[in-house]
Structure 1
Amino acid sequence: MDGAENGEHSRKMVFVTVGTTCFDALVKAVDSQQVREELSRKGYTDLLIQMGRGSYMPSKVSGEDEPLTVDYFTFSPSIADYLKSASLIISHAGSGSIFETLCLGKPLIVVVNEELMDNHQSELAEELAERKHLFYARPQTLHQTIQDMSPESLIPYSPGNPMPVVRLMNKFLGFPTD
Protein backbone atom coordinates (compact mmCIF):
# COMPACT_ATOMS: atom_id res chain seq x y z
CA MET A 1 0.00 0.00 0.00
CA ASP A 2 1.15 3.55 -0.50
CA GLY A 3 2.05 5.91 2.35
CA ALA A 4 -1.18 7.89 2.05
CA GLU A 5 -3.16 5.05 3.59
CA ASN A 6 -1.11 4.98 6.77
CA GLY A 7 -1.00 8.77 7.14
CA GLU A 8 2.58 9.44 5.99
CA HIS A 9 1.59 11.89 3.27
CA SER A 10 -0.83 13.76 5.48
CA ARG A 11 1.91 14.97 7.87
CA LYS A 12 2.52 18.72 7.63
CA MET A 13 5.40 20.06 9.71
CA VAL A 14 5.88 23.60 10.95
CA PHE A 15 9.55 24.36 11.62
CA VAL A 16 10.40 27.24 13.94
CA THR A 17 13.92 28.67 14.03
CA VAL A 18 15.47 31.38 16.19
CA GLY A 19 18.96 30.87 14.75
CA THR A 20 21.81 31.15 17.24
CA THR A 21 20.06 33.82 19.29
CA CYS A 22 17.87 33.81 22.37
CA PHE A 23 14.31 34.62 21.34
CA ASP A 24 12.19 33.24 24.17
CA ALA A 25 9.24 35.46 23.18
CA LEU A 26 8.94 33.59 19.85
CA VAL A 27 9.35 30.16 21.47
CA LYS A 28 6.70 31.05 24.10
CA ALA A 29 4.36 32.31 21.37
CA VAL A 30 4.54 29.11 19.29
CA ASP A 31 4.21 27.05 22.47
CA SER A 32 0.98 28.83 23.41
CA GLN A 33 -2.31 26.95 23.25
CA GLN A 34 -3.68 29.66 20.91
CA VAL A 35 -0.94 29.21 18.30
CA ARG A 36 -0.90 25.41 18.55
CA GLU A 37 -4.68 25.28 18.08
CA GLU A 38 -4.50 27.66 15.10
CA LEU A 39 -1.76 25.58 13.45
CA SER A 40 -3.83 22.44 13.98
CA ARG A 41 -6.91 24.14 12.49
CA LYS A 42 -4.81 25.01 9.43
CA GLY A 43 -3.99 21.31 8.97
CA TYR A 44 -0.48 21.20 10.39
CA THR A 45 0.34 18.03 12.32
CA ASP A 46 3.88 18.58 13.67
CA LEU A 47 5.64 21.52 15.29
CA LEU A 48 9.43 21.38 15.58
CA ILE A 49 11.10 24.26 17.43
CA GLN A 50 14.80 25.14 17.17
CA MET A 51 15.09 27.23 20.33
CA GLY A 52 18.71 28.40 20.20
CA ARG A 53 20.16 29.93 23.36
CA GLY A 54 16.77 30.50 24.96
CA SER A 55 15.92 29.40 28.48
CA TYR A 56 12.19 28.85 27.94
CA MET A 57 11.48 25.14 27.48
CA PRO A 58 8.48 24.44 25.26
CA SER A 59 6.16 21.55 26.10
CA LYS A 60 6.71 18.35 24.17
CA VAL A 61 3.41 16.96 23.01
CA SER A 62 2.81 13.64 21.28
CA GLY A 63 0.27 10.91 21.10
CA GLU A 64 -2.50 9.63 18.90
CA ASP A 65 -5.13 11.86 20.51
CA GLU A 66 -3.01 15.02 20.13
CA PRO A 67 -3.81 17.09 17.02
CA LEU A 68 -0.32 18.64 16.95
CA THR A 69 2.90 16.84 17.87
CA VAL A 70 5.45 19.25 19.39
CA ASP A 71 9.20 18.70 19.76
CA TYR A 72 12.23 20.96 20.16
CA PHE A 73 16.03 21.13 20.13
CA THR A 74 18.63 23.83 20.77
CA PHE A 75 21.11 23.70 17.88
CA SER A 76 21.91 21.64 14.80
CA PRO A 77 24.98 21.80 12.54
CA SER A 78 22.58 22.52 9.68
CA ILE A 79 18.89 23.33 9.58
CA ALA A 80 18.69 22.89 5.79
CA ASP A 81 16.98 19.48 6.01
CA TYR A 82 14.39 20.82 8.49
CA LEU A 83 13.65 23.75 6.17
CA LYS A 84 13.29 21.44 3.16
CA SER A 85 10.89 19.05 4.91
CA ALA A 86 8.71 21.78 6.47
CA SER A 87 5.34 22.85 5.07
CA LEU A 88 5.57 26.20 6.91
CA ILE A 89 8.53 27.98 8.48
CA ILE A 90 8.26 30.46 11.35
CA SER A 91 11.55 32.31 11.75
CA HIS A 92 13.29 35.09 13.56
CA ALA A 93 14.17 38.04 11.31
CA GLY A 94 17.73 36.95 10.52
CA SER A 95 18.50 37.63 6.86
CA GLY A 96 20.21 34.25 6.42
CA SER A 97 17.16 32.34 7.66
CA ILE A 98 14.81 34.53 5.62
CA PHE A 99 16.63 34.16 2.30
CA GLU A 100 17.41 30.47 2.75
CA THR A 101 13.68 29.83 3.26
CA LEU A 102 12.56 32.11 0.42
CA CYS A 103 14.96 30.40 -2.00
CA LEU A 104 13.30 27.07 -1.10
CA GLY A 105 9.91 28.52 -2.01
CA LYS A 106 8.43 27.68 1.40
CA PRO A 107 5.70 29.73 3.11
CA LEU A 108 7.37 31.87 5.76
CA ILE A 109 6.24 33.86 8.76
CA VAL A 110 8.97 36.16 10.07
CA VAL A 111 8.57 37.12 13.72
CA VAL A 112 10.45 40.23 14.79
CA ASN A 113 12.33 40.38 18.07
CA GLU A 114 11.19 43.73 19.44
CA GLU A 115 13.76 43.56 22.24
CA LEU A 116 16.62 44.24 19.81
CA MET A 117 17.71 47.85 19.51
CA ASP A 118 18.02 49.48 16.08
CA ASN A 119 16.52 46.42 14.44
CA HIS A 120 17.31 46.61 10.72
CA GLN A 121 16.17 43.01 10.38
CA SER A 122 12.59 44.07 11.04
CA GLU A 123 12.80 46.68 8.26
CA LEU A 124 13.95 43.97 5.84
CA ALA A 125 11.14 41.64 6.96
CA GLU A 126 8.55 44.42 6.64
CA GLU A 127 9.74 45.26 3.12
CA LEU A 128 9.62 41.61 2.01
CA ALA A 129 6.14 41.28 3.56
CA GLU A 130 4.97 44.36 1.63
CA ARG A 131 6.25 42.67 -1.53
CA LYS A 132 4.16 39.60 -0.52
CA HIS A 133 7.14 37.21 -0.29
CA LEU A 134 6.43 36.37 3.38
CA PHE A 135 4.15 37.04 6.32
CA TYR A 136 5.31 39.32 9.12
CA ALA A 137 4.35 39.11 12.81
CA ARG A 138 5.32 40.03 16.33
CA PRO A 139 5.24 37.38 19.07
CA GLN A 140 1.91 38.70 20.39
CA THR A 141 0.29 38.76 16.91
CA LEU A 142 1.57 35.37 15.69
CA HIS A 143 -1.72 33.51 16.31
CA GLN A 144 -3.64 36.17 14.34
CA THR A 145 -1.13 36.04 11.47
CA ILE A 146 -1.50 32.25 11.28
CA GLN A 147 -5.29 32.56 11.39
CA ASP A 148 -5.35 35.18 8.60
CA MET A 149 -2.58 33.82 6.38
CA SER A 150 -3.18 32.33 2.97
CA PRO A 151 0.10 30.74 1.78
CA GLU A 152 -1.24 30.67 -1.81
CA SER A 153 -1.25 34.49 -1.79
CA LEU A 154 2.53 34.70 -1.44
CA ILE A 155 4.58 35.73 -4.46
CA PRO A 156 7.59 33.45 -5.01
CA TYR A 157 10.90 35.17 -4.35
CA SER A 158 13.17 35.11 -7.37
CA PRO A 159 16.81 35.11 -6.23
CA GLY A 160 18.11 35.79 -9.75
CA ASN A 161 19.33 39.38 -9.32
CA PRO A 162 20.65 40.18 -5.83
CA MET A 163 21.14 43.90 -6.48
CA PRO A 164 17.66 45.10 -5.38
CA VAL A 165 18.13 43.28 -2.07
CA VAL A 166 21.72 44.53 -1.72
CA ARG A 167 20.50 48.12 -2.29
CA LEU A 168 17.69 47.60 0.20
CA MET A 169 20.08 46.23 2.84
CA ASN A 170 22.60 49.04 2.19
CA LYS A 171 19.83 51.62 2.58
CA PHE A 172 18.73 50.13 5.92
CA LEU A 173 22.31 49.87 7.14
CA GLY A 174 23.07 53.47 6.14
CA PHE A 175 25.62 52.64 3.43
CA PRO A 176 25.72 54.72 0.26
CA THR A 177 23.48 53.48 -2.53
CA ASP A 178 24.51 53.83 -6.16
Structure 2
Amino acid sequence: MKTVFVTVGTTSFDELIESITSPETVQALTARGYERLVLQVGRGSLVPAADSCPHVTLEAYRFKDSIAEDIEQADLVISHAGSCLESLGAGKSLLVVVNDKLMNNHQLEMARQLHMDSHLLYCTCSTLSETLRAMDLSVLQPFFARTAQELCTFPR
Protein backbone atom coordinates (compact mmCIF):
# COMPACT_ATOMS: atom_id res chain seq x y z
CA MET A 1 0.00 0.00 0.00
CA LYS A 2 1.55 3.29 -1.12
CA THR A 3 2.08 5.37 2.04
CA VAL A 4 2.61 9.01 2.99
CA PHE A 5 4.05 9.76 6.42
CA VAL A 6 3.54 13.28 7.78
CA THR A 7 5.53 14.42 10.80
CA VAL A 8 5.60 17.66 12.76
CA GLY A 9 8.16 16.37 15.27
CA THR A 10 7.72 17.46 18.86
CA THR A 11 6.16 20.78 17.94
CA SER A 12 2.65 21.89 17.02
CA PHE A 13 1.75 22.58 13.39
CA ASP A 14 -2.04 22.25 13.20
CA GLU A 15 -2.15 24.10 9.90
CA LEU A 16 -0.18 21.28 8.26
CA ILE A 17 -2.49 18.62 9.73
CA GLU A 18 -5.53 20.58 8.51
CA SER A 19 -4.00 21.01 5.07
CA ILE A 20 -2.95 17.38 4.58
CA THR A 21 -6.40 16.09 5.56
CA SER A 22 -8.36 18.58 3.45
CA PRO A 23 -10.47 17.04 0.66
CA GLU A 24 -8.40 18.82 -2.01
CA THR A 25 -5.10 17.47 -0.67
CA VAL A 26 -6.44 13.95 -0.10
CA GLN A 27 -7.67 13.99 -3.70
CA ALA A 28 -4.17 15.02 -4.87
CA LEU A 29 -2.66 12.13 -2.88
CA THR A 30 -5.10 9.52 -4.18
CA ALA A 31 -4.58 10.76 -7.75
CA ARG A 32 -0.89 9.89 -7.28
CA GLY A 33 -1.78 6.41 -6.00
CA TYR A 34 -1.26 6.95 -2.26
CA GLU A 35 -3.65 4.84 -0.21
CA ARG A 36 -2.36 5.23 3.35
CA LEU A 37 -1.72 8.39 5.36
CA VAL A 38 0.14 8.23 8.68
CA LEU A 39 0.19 11.42 10.74
CA GLN A 40 2.47 12.20 13.67
CA VAL A 41 0.73 15.30 15.07
CA GLY A 42 3.02 16.18 17.98
CA ARG A 43 1.67 18.69 20.50
CA GLY A 44 -1.00 19.97 18.14
CA SER A 45 -4.65 20.23 19.06
CA LEU A 46 -5.80 18.17 16.05
CA VAL A 47 -5.81 14.38 15.98
CA PRO A 48 -7.96 13.44 12.97
CA ALA A 49 -10.26 10.44 13.27
CA ALA A 50 -9.48 7.36 11.19
CA ASP A 51 -12.61 7.88 9.08
CA SER A 52 -12.06 11.59 8.39
CA CYS A 53 -10.32 11.12 5.01
CA PRO A 54 -12.36 9.14 2.48
CA HIS A 55 -10.42 6.93 0.06
CA VAL A 56 -7.30 6.63 2.24
CA THR A 57 -6.46 4.63 5.33
CA LEU A 58 -5.65 7.20 8.01
CA GLU A 59 -3.63 6.64 11.18
CA ALA A 60 -2.78 9.47 13.57
CA TYR A 61 -0.75 9.62 16.77
CA ARG A 62 1.02 12.23 18.88
CA PHE A 63 4.41 10.70 19.70
CA LYS A 64 6.40 7.47 19.53
CA ASP A 65 9.81 6.67 20.94
CA SER A 66 11.02 6.51 17.34
CA ILE A 67 9.50 7.43 13.99
CA ALA A 68 12.18 5.51 12.09
CA GLU A 69 9.80 2.65 11.21
CA ASP A 70 7.18 5.08 9.87
CA ILE A 71 9.82 6.79 7.75
CA GLU A 72 11.12 3.46 6.48
CA GLN A 73 7.61 2.28 5.47
CA ALA A 74 6.75 5.55 3.70
CA ASP A 75 6.95 6.13 -0.01
CA LEU A 76 6.80 9.88 0.62
CA VAL A 77 7.57 11.84 3.78
CA ILE A 78 5.99 15.23 4.38
CA SER A 79 7.62 17.14 7.19
CA HIS A 80 8.19 20.54 8.69
CA ALA A 81 11.78 21.68 8.17
CA GLY A 82 12.90 20.81 11.70
CA SER A 83 12.18 17.11 11.14
CA CYS A 84 13.72 16.68 7.70
CA LEU A 85 17.22 15.31 8.35
CA GLU A 86 16.08 11.88 9.54
CA SER A 87 14.01 11.41 6.37
CA LEU A 88 16.81 12.59 4.10
CA GLY A 89 19.24 10.28 5.85
CA ALA A 90 16.87 7.36 5.22
CA GLY A 91 16.89 8.14 1.49
CA LYS A 92 13.18 8.97 1.35
CA SER A 93 11.46 11.35 -1.03
CA LEU A 94 10.73 14.42 1.04
CA LEU A 95 8.36 17.34 0.78
CA VAL A 96 9.02 19.99 3.43
CA VAL A 97 6.11 22.21 4.41
CA VAL A 98 7.45 25.48 5.76
CA ASN A 99 5.49 27.20 8.50
CA ASP A 100 5.33 30.67 6.96
CA LYS A 101 3.67 32.07 10.08
CA LEU A 102 6.95 31.99 12.04
CA MET A 103 9.02 35.13 12.44
CA ASN A 104 12.68 35.04 11.33
CA ASN A 105 11.96 31.84 9.50
CA HIS A 106 15.12 29.73 9.37
CA GLN A 107 12.98 26.83 8.06
CA LEU A 108 12.56 28.56 4.73
CA GLU A 109 16.31 29.17 4.38
CA MET A 110 17.11 25.52 5.11
CA ALA A 111 14.40 24.21 2.77
CA ARG A 112 15.55 26.51 -0.04
CA GLN A 113 19.17 25.41 0.29
CA LEU A 114 18.31 21.69 0.32
CA HIS A 115 15.89 22.25 -2.58
CA MET A 116 18.58 24.04 -4.60
CA ASP A 117 20.76 20.97 -4.03
CA SER A 118 17.82 18.83 -5.33
CA HIS A 119 17.45 16.90 -2.05
CA LEU A 120 13.83 17.83 -1.35
CA LEU A 121 10.80 19.73 -2.51
CA TYR A 122 9.18 22.40 -0.38
CA CYS A 123 6.00 24.43 -0.14
CA THR A 124 3.71 26.11 2.38
CA CYS A 125 0.35 24.90 3.64
CA SER A 126 -1.42 27.14 1.16
CA THR A 127 0.38 25.52 -1.78
CA LEU A 128 0.49 21.91 -0.49
CA SER A 129 -2.22 20.37 -2.69
CA GLU A 130 -0.91 22.17 -5.78
CA THR A 131 2.64 21.00 -5.02
CA LEU A 132 1.47 17.40 -4.58
CA ARG A 133 -0.32 17.48 -7.93
CA ALA A 134 2.67 18.93 -9.80
CA MET A 135 5.66 17.38 -8.00
CA ASP A 136 8.26 15.28 -9.81
CA LEU A 137 10.03 13.11 -7.26
CA SER A 138 12.39 11.73 -9.92
CA VAL A 139 14.45 14.97 -9.82
CA LEU A 140 15.48 14.43 -6.19
CA GLN A 141 19.09 13.49 -5.50
CA PRO A 142 20.36 11.36 -2.61
CA PHE A 143 21.36 13.28 0.48
CA PHE A 144 24.83 12.70 1.82
CA ALA A 145 25.25 13.69 5.45
CA ARG A 146 26.82 17.05 6.12
CA THR A 147 27.92 18.55 9.34
CA ALA A 148 25.39 20.53 11.35
CA GLN A 149 27.52 23.62 10.81
CA GLU A 150 27.27 23.25 7.01
CA LEU A 151 23.49 22.85 7.21
CA CYS A 152 23.12 25.93 9.38
CA THR A 153 25.31 28.16 7.23
CA PHE A 154 23.30 29.55 4.36
CA PRO A 155 24.56 31.77 1.57
CA ARG A 156 23.42 35.33 2.04
Q: Same fold (TM over 0.5)?
A: yes
> How much has 1:168 moved relative to structure 2?
4.5
Distance 1:37 1:109, change over 3 A: same
Partners of 1:69 and 1:51 in 2: how far apart? 16
Q: Which residue of 2 aligns with 1:7?
A: none
Choose 1 or 2 for highest CA Rg. Answer: 1
Q: Which runs of 5+ in 2 are unaligned?
A: none
Matched, 1:167 2:150: yes
Helix, strand or coil at the partner of 2:81? coil
Partners of 2:35 and 2:81 in 1: how far apart? 24
> How much has 1:81 moved relative to structure 2?
0.7
Does the aligned pair in 2 maintain the 1:111–1:139 contact within 8 Å?
yes
Q: Which runs of 5+ in 1 are unaligned?
A: 1-10
Q: Which residue of 2 aligns with 1:70?
A: 58
Matched, 1:45 2:35: yes
TM-score normalised by the chain length of structure 1: 0.81
Any idea what the Cα deviations from partners look like across 1:26-76, whole Å, max 9, x if unmatched?
00000100111110110111001100111123242389xx53111200111
Partners of 2:94 and 2:154 in 1: how far apart? 24
Does the aligned pair in 2 maintain the 1:62–1:68 contact within 8 Å?
no
Distance 1:141 1:117, change over 3 A: same
Q: Which residue of 1 aligns with 2:121?
A: 135
Does the aligned pair in 2 maintain the 1:62–1:69 contact within 8 Å?
no
AA in 1 matched with 2:152 = M
TM-score normalised by the chain length of structure 2: 0.92
CA RMSD, 1 decimal:
2.0
Does the aligned pair in 2 maintain the 1:17–1:90 contact within 8 Å?
yes
- Ranked by relative contact order (alpha carbons within 8 Å, sequence separation 6 or more), the top structure is 2
What is the number of residues matched between the two proteins?
A: 156
Partners of 1:27 and 1:145 in 2: how far apart? 16
AA in 2 matched with 1:54 = G
